[in-house]
Amino acid sequence: MKVAVVNLKRLLIALAVPLAVGGLSAFASGSFSEQYAVVNKPPLSPPGWIFPVVWTLLYLAMGYASYLVMTVGGRDAKDALTVYYVQLALNFLWPILFFRFRLYTFAIFELILLIAAVTVMVIRFSHVDERAGYLTLPYLIWLCFALYLNIGVAVLN
């Protein structure tokens, strides 16, 4: 049986990167809880406390998935990680558009770009390490739900 050697420093950095992106984005977007409380929301909107919990879990999963891809190495892994970093940049931008500037309609289009980038990332991660693809699927599903919520807020506000 082959035992995988974990590079703890690389793993911790891989976990920290998406958490830092999310934290910086949350800081730059302003007070989420106050803004979420005052907008008209569509049916099935979760309570505000759900978002930081879910996002933390999703960021940890995508960080670990990126670590798995990183450890494989090679051209396919490098291409997959490039898409990963592009989607992280789009992920950083969405809350700022939505919460800071309240550009709900523009945020829909940015979120569609993010979903497209994450779809490509999931596929590329899967080609490099199947586990990494599975780890990022909940993120893609959550983004689709976020698109529904974003459209609902844009229509209702």
Specify if 124 maps to a domain: yes
Q: Which CATH number fits the domain that encloses residue 84?
A: 1.20.1260.100
Specify if 1 maps to a domain: no
What's the CA gap between 26 and 113, in Å, rounded?
20
Specify if 3 maps to a domain: no
8-29 and 75-95 are packed helices; what angle lies between their axes, rounded to 10 degrees? 30
Contacts of residue 6, defined as CB under 8 A and 6 or more positions apart, other chains included, come to none
Specify if 43 maps to a domain: yes
Specify if 57 maps to a domain: yes
pTM over 0.85: yes
Q: Using only C-alpha atoms, what is the Rg of the chain?
A: 16
What's the CA gap between 131 and 95, in Å, rounded?
28
How is residue 135 written in tokens? Answer: 């780890």
pLDDT for res 100: 95
Burial of 74 (0-12, 13-18, 19+ CB in 10 A): exposed
Specify if 92 maps to a domain: yes
pLDDT for res 2: 61
Q: What is the count of structural domains for the chain?
A: 1
Q: DSSP label at 100?
A: I
What's the CA gap between 25 and 33, in Å, rounded?
14
What's the CA gap between 78 and 95, in Å, rounded?
27
Specify if 2 maps to a domain: no
What's the CA gap between 117 and 137, in Å, rounded?
13
pLDDT for res 3: 63
Specify if 119 maps to a domain: yes
**Per-residue pLDDT for the chain (157 aa), expressed as one digit of tens each?**
566 788 999 999 999 999 999 999 999 998 888 889 899 999 999 999 999 999 999 999 999 999 999 999 999 999 999 999 999 999 999 999 999 999 999 999 999 999 999 999 999 999 999 999 999 999 999 999 999 999 999 999 9
- Containing structural domain, residue 101: 8-156
